[in-house]
Amino acid sequence: MSQYKAPLSDMRFALFDVLGAETEFARMGFSDATRDVLDAVLEEGARFTETVLAPLNAVGDRAGCTLDRTTGAVTTPPGFKQAYAQYVEGGWSGLTAPAEFGGQGLPHAAGVPLKEMIDAANLAWGNFPLLSHGATEALIQHGEDWQREVFLQPLIEGRWTGTMCLTEPHCGTDLGLLRTRAELQADGSYAISGTKIFITAGEHDFTENIVHLVLARLPDAPSGSKGISLFVVPKIRVGRDGALGDANGVRCGSLEHKMGIHGSATCVLNFDSAQGWLVGQPNKGLAGMFTMMNTARLAVGLQGLGLSDRAYQNALAYSRDRLQMRALSGPKQPEKPADPIIVHPDVRRMLLTCKSLIEGGRVMGYHAALLVDLAHHAQDDVERERADALLGFMTPIVKACLTEWGVECTYHALQCYGGHGYIAEHGMEQLARDARITTLYEGTTGIQALDLLGRKVMQQRGAGLKVMLGMIEQLCVEQAGNDAVAGFVAPLRHCASEWQRLTRLVGEQAATDPEQIGAAAYDYLMFSGYVCLAYWWLRSVLASEASDRAHRFKAGKRETAQFYFARILPRTLAHAAAIESGSSTLMALEADAFDA
């Protein structure tokens, strides 16, 4: 079974040394987010995830969730419900929620390390409270006063959990095709009828109530995405006064049989004239849903990061212990019958790939979380607008890249084990299976790529891209005379220039070729992710050198950065070449000729 130890040292480095979070929190007015408070959160979060959640990871994978087809009730794996009770008792569910609704009022970024720990320790369990945060945000921003009063405190306290109900059997990403209908009732509520699939934590035994945020159509709604409304539909009816009523008309029809995350209840939900209440304006439901979705996309990026780190930790330990062959340059441990496999270049290639993507990705993901706080709480209007633009730009990059790298890292880690990684005993194959879903839900990598290039760059004229490029240029100018990082500055500046050139090229090609955006989107997104990571690796080297960290830590950062710049950043060359090839190589083959 795989083990997990929260990487608190590197979490603190990313949050405090690189990002200066304590100073940023104080500047935004979070007076309670002091270093001692944040350190206590990290320490207690590590204890909870290491000792309570991590041991249940394999249990959940083996046992899965079970459905009583007579009642529609779902039973979670052994220990899951008890772990959730400890989570609620510890106050974790309201860590970053507003104090006015019963939360602890800490910054969003202060909760991100805990989220990473939970996902690394037990991704399937972590999916149960995952969407409560998004439901809370949607109701805060779009709900009526009575809806906030009735639903928010139970959600924030963890007594209830939330879901996000979008997908239907015939309708995934293209929400304009959804058929779930909503009919106005005499009491001002709506009767919601339809079927939703792939609903994470749609039914479980953790809480007395589940709050579903559901997309549906009104009878007179216009067709397409302009005719979608958002409704709050509790599992147990809730009156305007907060009193619980009888069971609502929503039931779990089946559980999906999945490749991974077996301990997570992925439900088919049938709504049969279920009582729901309109959230926001009629036919404007996508605004509320995107509030949830963007929160969830950043959260799923952290899932990829957490799984990567747990896989890497175990692969590193195994590589130090497993004896096989001798180093090509001569025995490293002659007193033993063979050397540990960590001496071999190809094993080091895999481990360093994981280390560079994890540690750089951690800073990138934490920075996106800090942008959430800045976009809402920065003291200056210009700074809030700048943070919001950069956050919108970085969200698809963080979601897609951290999850794609999560798949890569878990497979590298499995490979380090050889045949032992393929069997269940060591737990590596579970991590690889679990990681695969992260590139799919909350918008596939292709959807993130289209969002980045089509919407955030082309439609919005690259507002966020300009902010990111400005950050890169400022850093490069500041470090232009620093010989110690010259080997990082020049490649980063070159990549930034290429980024601008490729953006212009795609824009020019798209003017005459409507397929070009779609053809270039994936490679453009990955190119963007690798350049952003190079920026954060340079920032990390500078921060480590300026810190009072031990020489071993500083050497680790510098050598890993050198590996990244030499062996990972050149992946941008392949992505650039693919972008430059245009759409013809993708679109020329007729659909009926694929099997020719």
Amino acid 581 reads S
CA distances in angstroms from 345 to 163, 341, 353, listed in the order given: 46, 9, 12
Is 442 catalytic? The answer is yes
Question: For 530-556, what is the HEC assignment?
Answer: HHHHHHHHHHHHHHHHHCCCCHHHHHH
What's phi and psi for 164, nearest 5 deg? -130, 115
Measure the CA–CA gap between 153 and 404, rounded to whole angstroms: 35
- At residue 76, the 3 state secondary structure works out as coil
CA distances in angstroms from 228 to 187, 237, 282, listed in the order given: 21, 23, 8
Residue 340 forms beta bridges with which residues?
Answer: 323
Among 96, 101, 126, 123, which residue's Cα sits nearest to residue 112? 96
Measure the CA–CA gap between 570 and 561, rounded to whole angstroms: 13
Among 266, 12, 198, 35, which residue's Cα sits nearest to residue 117? 12
Mutual angle of helices 381-416 and 516-546, in 10-degree steps? 90
Question: In what helix (H) or strand (E) does residue 391 lie, and over which residues does it extend?
Answer: helix 381-416
Residue 244 forms beta bridges with which residues?
Answer: 238
Burial class (CB in 10 A: 0-12, 13-18, 19+), 399: buried
Amino acid 513 reads D
By the 8 A CB rule, do 443 and 297 touch? yes
Q: What is the DSSP string of 285-296?
A: HHHHHHHHHHHH
Among 466, 535, 367, 298, which residue's Cα sits nearest to residue 24? 367
Within 10 Å of residue 480's Cβ, how many Cβ atoms? 12
228 DSSP assignment:
B
Measure the CA–CA gap between 8 and 428, rounded to whole angstroms: 22
Among 214, 207, 242, which residue's Cα sits nearest to residue 135? 214
Question: In what helix (H) or strand (E) does residue 84 lie, and over which residues does it extend?
Answer: helix 80-89
Q: Quick one: the chain helix, strand, coil %, rounded to 5? A: 60, 15, 25
Q: Cα 394–107–81 angle (5° rounding)? A: 95
Among 235, 377, 349, 214, which residue's Cα sits nearest to residue 280? 214
Measure the CA–CA gap between 402 and 365, rounded to whole angstroms: 8
Measure the CA–CA gap between 527 and 499, rounded to whole angstroms: 8
Strands 209-216 and 160-165 turn out to be parallel
Q: Cα 52–55–58 angle (5° rounding)? A: 140
| Catalytic residue selected from 442, 473, 559, 590 | 442
- At residue 277, the 3 state secondary structure works out as strand
Provide the annotated active-site residues: 442
